[in-house]
Amino acid sequence: MQNFLREIRLRRGMTQVKLAAAAGTTPMLISFIERYGHTPRADLRRRLARALGVDESEVWPEVDDEDGDTRTLE
């Protein structure tokens, strides 16, 4: 599943280390999410979006609910 975490992070001028610290996670997890398109659980999606100053749907446009299920993009 596609996510825009890396693109938004770079636009904000943040390193993986700074984003991880702001979201309360590890740089290794940020790298994994960016590299493999992993969709994290709802609580981490919210923290990452908040740390980036964007809505979750900007980072994960296909995620529909708390469980990370996807919605169809038309």
Model confidence over 23-51: pLDDT tens digits? 999 999 999 999 998 889 999 999 999 99
- 71 within some domain: no
The range of the structural domain enclosing residue 41 comes to 5-59
Q: Which residues of 56-65 are buried (b: 16+ CB within 10 A; e: fewer)?
A: eeebbeebee
Assess if residue 67 is contained within a domain.
no
pLDDT at 65: 60
Nearest Cα to Cα of residue 1 among 64, 52, 53, 48: 64
Asked if residue 16 belongs to a domain, the reply is: yes
Assigned domain for 68 exists: no
pTM of the model as a whole = 0.83
Confidence of residue 63 (pLDDT cuts 50, 70, 90): confident
Give me the torsion for CA of 37, 5, 72, 64, rounded to 10°: 100
CATH (domain of 21): 1.10.260.40
Q: Is 29 or 68 the better-scoring residue by pLDDT?
A: 29
Q: Mutual orientation of helices 27-36 and 16-23 as an angle, nearest 10°?
A: 110
- Report pLDDT for 62: 83
| DSSP secondary structure code for residue 24 in this structure | T
Number of domains, the chain: 1
Is 70 within a domain? no
